[in-house]
Structure formats: C-alpha cells, structure tokens
Chain A
Amino acid sequence: MKNIKLSIKHLVFVSVLVAATSLCLTPMDAQAEIKELTIGIGIDADTLLPYDQTTTLMQNMADLIYDSYFFQDPEGKLHPRLATRYEVSDDGLIYTIHLRKGVKFSDGTDFNADAAKQAWDNVLNPKARVPLRFAVGMVKECVKIDDYTIALNLKFAFAPLAPTISMSLVSAISPAALEKYGEKIRQNPVGAGPYILKQWVKGDRIVMARNENYWGKKPTVAQITWKIVPEAATREAMLRAGQIDICYKPLPSNVAALKADPKITVEMPLDTRTIFMGMNYQKGVTTNKKVRQAFNYAVDKKAIVDKILFGTAEPMDGPVSPKVFGYFKMPHQYDYNPEKAKQLLNEAGFDFSKTVNMRTPQGRYLFDKQVSEAIQAYLQAIGVKAELRTYDWPTYIAGLLKPLEESELELFLLGWGPLILDADMGLYGQFTCEVNPPKGLGAAFYCNPEYDRIMKASREEQNPEKRLELLKQASEIVWDDAPWMWLHVEKFVIAYSSKIKGMVVTPTEKFYPQYISMQ
C-alpha cells in the first residue's frame, strides 16, 4: 500500500513537473517571436535613401529595408541575397549578376532587372546626390540582359567588386515608389528587405515593422524601434533600466562596468576603422623617412589603447585592419622605443628648435583629442616641440582637403573605415598618388610610383592568392615608408540585454537583429 501511495505521489509529482515544464516552455517558445525590439542610437537619420547616405548606422537601417545583392558576413564570406550568383569575364571588365526570381518589393511590385538597372542608373547619374559614388566609380554602366540578369561594365578591372556591390548603396528601390514619391523617397523608403518603415518621428524614433511578404526567412522580431538618444550615458541608463534592449556604442569608459553586469552582453569586434596620425610626406619636417619612423617609435600605442581608449581598440600591426582581406601583420613593428626615436631624429638631422604643428578633430573619433594630446606629450618627451590645434569637423576636413601648395598640414589625426572587408579601400583609398588632396583624402600626400603600380595590379588580379601577394607587397612598402603614425584599429562596441541570443555583429560597424531570440 505504501508503495502504491508513493507511486501516486510520484505520479502527481511527475505530472506537476511536466505541467510546470510545459508552462515554462510555452513562454520560451513564445519568445521566439519578439513583438518589439528597441535600440538606443545616437543620431536621427537624415535620409533612408540608400545612395544618399554616408553614415554606417543609416546604411545598417537601409539594409533592413532594402536588402542587398549579397551579404558579407563577419568573416568576409559573401552570401547570396537579392542576387543568386555572379560571373566575371576573363578580362575582369564585365560582371554578370543573376537576380533572385519571385521577389517583390514591400509595395507588392516586382523586383527584377529593370528595378536593379534603375537603381544603378540613379547611382551612376552624375547629377544625382550620391556621396559614396566613388565606391562604385569603376562601373561604367549597368545593362539589362534579361528580366533577371544584369551586367555591370567596368571602366577598369576591379577585383573586389562583388563585396562592393553587397553595400546598400546600390540596393534596388521600388520603381513604383520612386515614381510615386519623387524626391520624398528619402523619407518614404520602399525596398525588398525584411522590414518596412512604419513610423518616423523626427528626432525621436524610427519604427520598422516586419515585411510579411519578405522573400527570405521570416524575421523573429516583429517590430524594431530605433530610439534616438544622443547622450551615450543616457542610452546606457536606459539599457540598465530595461527601457531599451540594445545600446549602440556605449561610452568606452563604461564598457568594463557593462561587462560586469550579468544582465548585459557587450560585443566589441574589431572594426575596419584605423585611426592614425598622418604625416605630410611631401612638405615640412616629416618628408624625411627617418623622422616619420622616429615619430612612430616615440608613441606608446599600447598605452593609448589601454589607458585612453579603455581597451576598445587594438594597436595597428599592419597598414589595414586585421578584419579585411589583404591584411598582413608586418614582420617589423614600431614598438615604443623613445631612445631609438631620438637616435633616428639625430641621424635625420632633425631641428629640435622647430615647432611641429599638430591638428586634431574633437568628437569625431573615440577620444580623438585625448589621443592627440597623448601623442603631443610623447613627442615632447623626446625633445620635439609640438603644438596641437583642435577643430570642429567641418573646419577640420576643409583644412585636410587643400592641395599641397596650400596645405599647412604637418601632423593630423584622422580615421579611415573601409565599408567592405577588403584592403583595397584602405590601401588604395589612402596611399596612392591619385587620392592626394584635393582629389581624395590621402592627406599625408603619400605618393610612391612603385606602390601605385602594385596597387593597380592588385585591382586587376582576379586570382585571390596572387592578389594577396600584391597587397602584401604594397603593405610592406607603405609600412616602411610610414606616412602615418600607425595608431590603432577601433572596436565596434554594442551592448544589449543578455536575454538576446543570435545577434549578428559585423566589423563594418553593422548589426543585424532580425533573427535573434529572447531567453
């Protein structure tokens, strides 16, 4: 009898356990469908038109509304999205892109070659406002082959074109919406992405609702609210108070405290953005290679990263971020060595009575002014007189873009963040003769014909292995010539509720929350 009673007790216990477990499981399953995700960001969007945008965060939003031809994952691998595949002609001058069939824009119209061509024509139209047009400057024209195939004819061979067209810059926009809204398409985006714009309250929030007709996997998040909170400390407070789920770029100084909070997850993958102190290669005291190398040895980059940036960066050990294709760690490093710096300066016959002019923006990059002040102190420690001037961004960039004859630049702090995971935008976009101001922002005025020849060859080389070899040669040349003080590679910091699982964060400062789950 006792045994029977026990069995009944056991039975009741097991039943209760099963019931409780199912009760617990039900909400867990329900969490797979997330009603709303609130993301705290620092700035409002000026436009959601993909080709009129320069801000990474807004491109991130545009990705969710428009989708892209390919998706470049955090490892740099391309995944087909609105394009299923591409082919390159033998001479590298024609890219044939096969578009996905059966895709509709969120207004119900068809995504096809006509829509894709119209977007390309807009981007290539010299009269249209397309700030990032340079990124596709190698494309001469877009030609429709059939309803679901387009061809891009290039002006010159450009090996990293496929990742380039993964940018939302060239995403297709509904032709019907373009016709309907005209110039107001900037505020009324209609694409083929997983979300549609539901509401935009200027300066306050942008609300996106799931596109129920999305061609791909259904997103788990039904609604995304981008809450505009300019002050990073307030964003953090809101995250801690549970008023937002994701905090975009919290203060570096608080990263350690956020990491210590079990309710919060902090992700900080290495970014593509490199921060450097440019040194004028063609004018002033830094024309001497030994002086430029000496300045590199004079600065303790590790200390800057640890003490000023709170570990939210890593010292550069090559001319581009380790996250890009074509990165190589340089065999010879400019480790902190003030004695060697002094020795090199003496060998170069450096005039210690002269004052070196330094410039820095304020508030553009993480602790930019403080980093520049630290460099000033390091230079002064080896006997170099350095004067630092601070500018707001518009004034600063105007100064950087002056041609050599008008330029007053000696040392200047700047950041450069390639938009795709390829070294070309860094190595070509900063160090070739053709990007010297005013044509580009290669404000160190680095110009080396041998380097240019190798970089041009790297663009034409379709074989990845051979291209890597060329990029390595170019990296070694510029690293040795040292037109920059190679400072650090920033990390992209994002903090979110630890309930969130499955967030995709990329080194191009983007994140994709559409398939997350909540636990």
Chain B
Amino acid sequence: MLNYLIKRLISTIPVLLGISLLLFFMLRMLPGDPAQVLAGQMASPEDIENIRHQLGLDRPIYEQYATYLSRLVRFDLGLSARTQNPVIDEIWARLPNTLLLAVVAIMLACLFGIPAGIISAVRPYSWLDYLVTMSALFGISMPVFWLGLMLVVVFSVVLKWLPAGGTGSWQHVILPSITLAALVIAFIARMTRSTMLETLSQDFTTTARSKGLTEKIVIIKHALRNALIPIITVVGLQFGLLLGGAVLTETVFAWPGLGRLIVDSILARDYPVIQGAILIFGLLYIFVNLVVDFIYAFVDPRIRYD
C-alpha cells in the first residue's frame, strides 16, 4: 500500500509539469495583452510598455517559462499581475471557501442522492421511483444560475430566513451548497438506481434472500455494498468538478472561492494567478482520485494495491 502511495505521489510530478507547460503556452497563445488590460484603456504606449517590462512579458517566452519553472520548484507561484500580491496568498484566501462549499455540497448530495437511488431501485416503476426519476431529471436540467436566484428570492427576499450572499456564518453556506448539490444529487441518484437495479437482480442477492435475511440487510449489506464502486467513482468525479466548476454558484451567492478568482484572472489575463490556481486544482483533483482509489480498497476487500 505504501509503495503504491509513493508511486502515485511520484507520478503527480510529471502530471503537474505537463499541466504547467500546457497552461503556460496556451495562455500566451490567447489574444490580448495583460499589460494593456492592467493599464486601462486610456494609458499611453510608454506606460503599457513599462508594465509589460515589469511583468517580464517583454522577454523571450522560453526564458519566461524557465523563470516560472525555477520558481515553481521552490514552491513560489510568483506575484499576481493585478494585485502584486503573492499568488499563493491570493489562492490561500479563497481555497478554504472552495473546499468548504464543495465538501458540504458533496455531503448533501450523498445524503440525499444515495437513499433516493436506493428507494427508486427497490421499488422500480412505482410512484416513488417516478418521483425520484423526475426529480433527478429536474435537478439535472435546472440551470444552476436560475436555481440559485430562485432560492435567494424565496429564502432571502420573501422569507428573510437566510443571507443572500457572502460568508461569515453557517447560514451563509446553506443556499450555495443546496444549489451546488442539486445537480450532483441527481447524478448520484441515477447512478445508484441503475447499479442497485443490477445488483438486486444478481444471484448473490437471491441467495441472501433465500437464506431468510431481512430485506434491509439484503439491500444495505449485499446489494448496496456491491453497487458502491461505481457510485464512489461518480462521487469522486463530481467532487473534483465541484472544486473547480462552482463559478456560477460562487457568482450568484457572492461566495469568494477559487472559481471566481480564476474567471476574474482570465478576464484580466493575470497569467500567474491562472497558472497557480489551475495547478492547485490539478493537485486537488489528483488527491481526490487517490482518496477514491483507497476507498475502493476499503469498500471491496478484493482490491489491493500491493
């Protein structure tokens, strides 16, 4: 297990290098000049050139990449072109918010999605199944932006129960995490339903029933446990997406997360922040996948990483 962990950790190095290389050159292929954006539309050519020089953008591109890489190996992500703050500070100010939102949302999604899928699979083609399937369809189809604003209108403006946006208390987490979880609940419910339907029709389930086990034990201990692997895969993937793809939710609920930082940085062509934030996302994604792999082994004893 330890060997596997070490191998996986070592394999992250070329992945991160690949991300840094691709990202560095792809960003520079984008049209638009960061110095011009920073200088504003009224700046003189001399001032734009001055800013370009300060950002090191007037040097050859391979030299820029070499500098970037040499800093990166020293865990220095550079300075934000916009704020002149260390990129790591910019990211660190927002990363806990992103993680908090993603963790709460994925917990909500599992809490509602898995039981909904189980109920749906246990009573296929019943009104409960139709209700879950329809709700899942609704959850998948609903634009995040619209759902978020509707929740704001109902719970903040009309009922005045919850804050419409920002951070600072547990109440602030409720609406954005529900919005973010809605889509994931639907995915998890559908995946749970289909894998459960499959395991419920397997021979080992029939055997468990014929042994006289209660239906609860048959479903939870036999059918669900065997259906968990694909569900965990989906949860892992969705969690990875939640970390990086919560821009709309962050925007609607004024949630200061990494997604919003990346979008703002792209619009301002703030290369160091985009590069730094996406590298961090890459790291997080690798870590989530690693955790998922270990959960496989925990759930299914047949899986070993020796």
Contact surface of A with B, Cβ cutoff 8 Å: 43-44, 46-47, 54, 126-127, 129-135, 137, 183, 186-187, 201-205, 227-231, 233-234, 237-238, 240-243, 392-399, 401, 429, 438-441
Please, which residues of chain B bring their CB within 8 A of the CB of A234? Answer: 149, 152, 164-165, 252-254
Please, which residues of chain A bring their CB within 8 A of the CB of B256? Answer: 44, 201-204, 228
> A401 contacts B152, CB within 8 Å?
no
Please, which residues of chain A bring their CB within 8 A of the CB of B32? Answer: 392-398
> B34 contacts A394, CB within 8 Å?
yes
> A241 contacts B160, CB within 8 Å?
yes
Contact surface of B with A, Cβ cutoff 8 Å: 30-34, 36-47, 50-51, 54, 80, 82-85, 90, 93-94, 97, 149, 152-153, 156-157, 160, 163-167, 250-254, 256-257, 260-261, 264, 267-269
Please, which residues of chain B bring their CB within 8 A of the CB of A240? Answer: 157
> A397 contacts B37, CB within 8 Å?
yes
Q: Given A187-B83, A234-B164 in contact, is the A132-B42 Cβ separation under 8 Å?
A: yes
Please, which residues of chain A bring their CB within 8 A of the CB of B167? Answer: 201, 204
State A441–B44 Cα separation when bound (angstroms): 9
> A127 contacts B165, CB within 8 Å?
no
| Of the residues A126, A233, A441, contact of B42 by C-beta under 8 Å | A441
> B31 contacts A398, CB within 8 Å?
yes
> A233 contacts B149, CB within 8 Å?
yes
Smallest CB–CB gap between A512 and chain B, Å?
Answer: 23
Known: A131-B42, A132-B43, A395-B32; 9 extra A-B contacts, CB below 8 A, are: A43-B264, A130-B47, A134-B42, A135-B42, A227-B254, A237-B153, A237-B157, A394-B31, A394-B36
Please, which residues of chain A bring their CB within 8 A of the CB of B157? Answer: 237, 240-241
Q: Given A227-B254, A229-B166, A243-B156 in contact, is the A132-B84 Cβ separation under 8 Å?
A: no
> B40 contacts A132, CB within 8 Å?
yes
Please, which residues of chain A bring their CB within 8 A of the CB of B30? Answer: 394-395
> A438 contacts B45, CB within 8 Å?
yes
State A365–B149 Cα separation when bound (angstroms): 23
Smallest CB–CB gap between B133 and chain A, Å?
Answer: 31
> A134 contacts B43, CB within 8 Å?
yes
Most interface-central of A203, A394, A398, A438 (chain B CB within 10 A): A203
State A301–B35 Cα separation when bound (angstroms): 34
Smallest CB–CB gap between B42 and chain A, Å?
Answer: 6
State A439–B45 Cα separation when bound (angstroms): 6
Can you give 18 A-B contacts (C-beta < 8 A)?
Answer: A44-B256, A44-B264, A127-B50, A129-B51, A132-B42, A134-B47, A187-B85, A203-B97, A203-B256, A203-B260, A227-B165, A228-B256, A230-B254, A237-B157, A238-B156, A238-B163, A393-B37, A394-B31
> A186 contacts B83, CB within 8 Å?
yes
Smallest CB–CB gap between A436 and chain B, Å?
Answer: 11
Please, which residues of chain B bring their CB within 8 A of the CB of A46? Answer: 80, 82-83
> A131 contacts B160, CB within 8 Å?
no
Please, which residues of chain B bring their CB within 8 A of the CB of A237? Answer: 149, 152-153, 156-157, 164
> A131 contacts B40, CB within 8 Å?
yes
| Of the residues A227, A241, A397, A440, contact of B36 by C-beta under 8 Å | A397
State A240–B39 Cα separation when bound (angstroms): 36
Please give me the 5 A-B residue pairs with the lowest Cβ-Cβ distance, nearest first: A394-B32, A203-B256, A54-B40, A202-B93, A229-B254
Smallest CB–CB gap between A449 and chain B, Å?
Answer: 22
Please, which residues of chain A bring their CB within 8 A of the CB of B43? Answer: 54, 131-134
Smallest CB–CB gap between B73 and chain A, Å?
Answer: 24
Q: What DSSP secondary structure best describes chain A's contact surface?
A: loop
Please, which residues of chain B bring their CB within 8 A of the CB of A392? Answer: 32, 267
State A201–B34 Cα separation when bound (angstroms): 25
State A129–B81 Cα separation when bound (angstroms): 11
B160 closest partner in A (C-beta): A241
Q: Given A240-B157, A395-B31 in contact, is the A133-B47 Cβ separation under 8 Å?
A: yes
> A231 contacts B251, CB within 8 Å?
yes
Smallest CB–CB gap between A244 and chain B, Å?
Answer: 9
Please, which residues of chain B bring their CB within 8 A of the CB of A132? Answer: 40, 42-43
| Of the residues B31, B46, B93, B156, contact of A241 by C-beta under 8 Å | B156
Q: Given A237-B152, A243-B156 in contact, is the A439-B94 Cβ separation under 8 Å?
A: no
State A135–B41 Cα separation when bound (angstroms): 12
Please, which residues of chain A bring their CB within 8 A of the CB of B51? Answer: 129, 131
Please, which residues of chain B bring their CB within 8 A of the CB of A227? Answer: 165-166, 254
Smallest CB–CB gap between B290 and chain A, Å?
Answer: 29
Smallest CB–CB gap between B97 and chain A, Å?
Answer: 8
Smallest CB–CB gap between B125 and chain A, Å?
Answer: 40
State A238–B80 Cα separation when bound (angstroms): 31
State A230–B260 Cα separation when bound (angstroms): 9
B250 closest partner in A (C-beta): A230
State A187–B163 Cα separation when bound (angstroms): 28
State A43–B82 Cα separation when bound (angstroms): 13
Smallest CB–CB gap between A397 and chain B, Å?
Answer: 6
> B36 contacts A401, CB within 8 Å?
yes
State A186–B41 Cα separation when bound (angstroms): 21
Please, which residues of chain B bring their CB within 8 A of the CB of A204? Answer: 166-167, 254, 256
Please, which residues of chain B bring their CB within 8 A of the CB of A187? Answer: 83, 85
State A440–B48 Cα separation when bound (angstroms): 11
A395 closest partner in B (C-beta): B31
> B83 contacts A201, CB within 8 Å?
no
A414 closest partner in B (C-beta): B41
State A132–B80 Cα separation when bound (angstroms): 20
Please, which residues of chain A bring their CB within 8 A of the CB of B153? Answer: 237
Smallest CB–CB gap between B35 and chain A, Å?
Answer: 10
Please, which residues of chain A bring their CB within 8 A of the CB of B156? Answer: 237-238, 241, 243
Q: Given A129-B50, A129-B51, A203-B256 in contact, is the A398-B44 Cβ separation under 8 Å?
A: no
State A185–B43 Cα separation when bound (angstroms): 22
